[in-house]
Structures are given as C-alpha cells and as structure tokens.
Amino acid sequence: MKERGSTRRDIPKVAVRSADVDRPRPGANQTGAGSPTTQQGARETSSMTHAGADGAAGSEIDLLAVRDESAALEFAWRLHDGTSEAIARVDAKAGLAATVETAAAAVLLAFAGTGRPVTGLAQVALGVGAALLGAAVVLSGAVVLPVLRSRRATQLDANFLYFGALRHCSARCLAVRLHREDAVRLVCEQAITLAGLAHRKHRLLQLSLLAALAGALCATAVCFATGGAG
C-alpha cells in the first residue's frame, strides 16, 4: 500500500516537472538559457501572453507594422516623384525640340520661296523634308499637350491624387477617403499612371527627333543638289 501511495503521489510531480520543462519560460530564456529553438518559442509565447496582459509585445508588433507601412509609403512617393520629374524633363526637351524644328521648317520654306529651280529627285526630297519637319513639330507639340482624363476623373473611385479627380471631391468626402483608402495603393496607382504617361511622352519625342533628323537630311540634300549649300 505504501508503494502504491508513493507511486500515486510521484506521478503528478513528474507530470508537472515534464510540463515545466516542455513549456518555454520567458524569464529564464531572456537571460540566454536554453536552446535557440526554445528561446524562439519563448519569445513567441511571451509576445502572445504579454500582448493580452500589458500590451507591451503588441505595441512592439504594431510599431514594426507602422514602420513597414511608412517605409513602403515613402518608397511609393519616391517612385511618384521620380516619374513626375521625368515628365517635367521630357516636356522641357520637347519645348526645345519644337523651337529648333520650327526654325528648321521656316528655313526650308524660305529656301523654297527663293524661286530656285528644283526638279526631279530634289523636288521630291524637298517635299519629303518639309513633311518630315512638319510632322516633327506636331509630335513635339503632342509631347507637351496636357492630358486630362475627364471621363475617369468623374467616377467615385477615381484616384484623388490626380487634380482632375480631386476637384470633384467635397471636403467631407475627401476627409472620409483619406481615412478609409490605402495610401500606399493610391500612390502606387498614380505612380504607374504617371510612368505610362512619361513613357508615351518620351516615345513621341523620340519620333519627333527622328523625323526632324530625316527632314534635315533631305533639306541638306536639296541644298547641295541646287547649289544652295553656300
């Protein structure tokens, strides 16, 4: 009977000890005791336990989430600003190109108005050169032409970072959307839209410069053919 009683009293003690060994202890593991796996489990258990008790671990997790969201928002704004600067640069280049191309077209028209005989291939080259220079001027103008997305801007889910859509919002509606909308998603959407616009502007400027170069070559050929190079 004594052996049975002692056995029954020892079983709970062993069970408690095994449970204590298996359960990660935050207080002991914070000092470096235990294996790395046990320490990691202790951190997780401590975070889950103390988050509900005093909110310390929960505040730390929330702080990390806020930092990640702030970093993502900052990076999104950098992309947005980069595409905006690209649009500003291509507009400036297009304005300069349009000025030079217009001057070249004026020189070619002045040469055609001098009354010098232009026949055969020279006449064809003169017409092609004038058409190419005119197309170059038009393409440069298309680069700096403002793009207004009037149809999309009137919709309720339009991105209010675009001034055309912002003007349709009331102050109350804007305040509500600022609290409800995902700022990172909105900035990314606007950055992608501006990137597409910048790419289209650069493509038009590229075509304009190629057309102007080809037109200038045709005009130079006509000048040499008619003896007007000097």
Does residue 24 carry a pLDDT above 70?
no
Nearest to 81 by CA among 205, 199, 183, 195: 195
User: Helices in 113-182 by DSSP H: which ranges?
Assistant: 121-144, 150-153, 163-166, 171-180
Q: What pLDDT was estimated at residue 59?
A: 62
The domains of the chain are located at: 1-54, 75-225
Question: And the tokens for 108?
Answer: 């070619």
Q: What pLDDT was estimated at residue 196?
A: 93
User: How far apart are alpha carbons 171 and 69 in whole angstroms?
Assistant: 26
* Across 45-49, average pLDDT: 40
Which of 56-70, 169-183, 205-219 bottoms out in mean pLDDT, i.e. has the lowest? 56-70
Place of tokens 């001034």: 163
Q: What pLDDT was estimated at residue 112?
A: 74
Q: Are 108 and 219 in contact (CB under 8 A)?
A: yes
**What pTM value is reported for the model?**
0.64
Q: Are 221 and 108 in contact (CB under 8 A)?
A: no
Residue 27 pLDDT grade (very low, low, confident, very high; cuts 50, 70, 90): very low
- For 143, other C-beta atoms within 10 Å of its C-beta total 23
User: Each residue of 116-131: pLDDT tens digit?
Assistant: 666 777 778 888 888 9
> pLDDT: is 92 or 49 the higher one?
92
Highest averaged pLDDT of the listed ranges 40-49, 64-73, 103-112, 130-139: 130-139
The dihedral over CA atoms of 218, 221, 222, 224, expressed in degrees to the nearest 10, equals 160
